[in-house]
């Protein structure tokens, strides 16, 4: 196993890992008007990962989705922190327990050093929740945000 503390965030995942995560984002968004972004950086400078996820959400202008149904999955690999933040439309629809369950699921995967699979699995589950509350509308839906992984420092 590689030493994650010597790697930059962009190098933490193999090309296949990145493909797995991006495919999960595309699959999740194919059935919903919601938007999902994955943001990965080396270190979390905030005390609380959720505060950093909110900051990333704002920086990526995810609040601009028409139905307030954007979600950011935030991971700081060296700091070993993660959070999921959903805009008010999806957060309120899914309820607080849902978000806690998704974070716990990611932690479960991460504890087995299965980072990409953990992110991809949770992204697909987020997509299912988004589909339930914000189904895809073929006539009016547009992909409002890119489906790629965003890497910070």
Domain contains 13: yes
Q: Tell me, yes or no, whether 104 lies in a domain.
A: yes
The boundaries of the domain holding residue 25 are 4-135
Indicate whether this model's pTM tops 0.75.
yes
Residue 76 located in a structural domain: yes
Q: Which residue has the tokens 């299912």?
A: 128
Q: Rounded mean pLDDT of the chain?
A: 88
pLDDT band at 54 (very low <50, low <70, confident <90, very high): very high
The number of distinct structural domains making up the chain is 1
In a domain, residue 74? The reply is yes
Per-residue pLDDT reduced to its tens digit, 83-124: 999 999 899 889 889 999 999 999 999 999 999 999 999 999
Phi/psi at 140 (nearest 5 deg)? -120, -15
Assigned domain for 44 exists? yes
pLDDT for 33 beyond 50: yes
Q: What is the pLDDT of residue 2?
A: 43
DSSP string across 89-102? HHHHHH-HHHHHHH
82 within a domain of the structure (yes/no): yes
46 occurs within a structural domain = yes
- Tokens found for residue 126: 């987020």
Sheet of 35-41, strands arranged across:
81-86, 70-76, 35-41, 149-151
User: What's the pLDDT at 1?
Assistant: 38
Residue 71 lies in a domain: yes
Going by C-beta distance under 8 Å and a sequence separation of 6 or more, which residues neighbour residue 56?
39, 72, 74, 85, 150, 152
pLDDT of residue 7: 59
CATH of the domain at 76: 3.10.310.50
Residue 4 has pLDDT above 60, yes or no: no
């Amino acid at each position: 196993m590689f030493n994650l503390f010597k790697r930059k965030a962009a190098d933490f995942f193999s090309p296949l890992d990145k493909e797995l995560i991006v495919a999960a984002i595309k699959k999740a968004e194919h059935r919903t008007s919601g938007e999902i972004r994955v943001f990965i950086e080396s270190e979390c400078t905030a005390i609380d990962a959720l505060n950093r996820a909110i900051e990333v959400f704002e920086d990526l202008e995810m609040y601009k989705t028409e139905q307030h149904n954007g979600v950011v999955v935030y991971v700081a690999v060296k700091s070993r922190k993660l959070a999921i933040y959903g805009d008010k439309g999806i957060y309120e629809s899914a309820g607080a327990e849902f978000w806690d369950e998704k974070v716990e699921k990611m932690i479960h995967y991460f504890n087995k050093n299965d980072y990409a699979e953990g992110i991809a699995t949770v992204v697909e589950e987020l997509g299912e929740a988004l589909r339930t509350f914000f189904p895809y509308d073929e006539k009016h839906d547009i992909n409002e945000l890119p489906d790629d992984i965003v890497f910070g420092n």
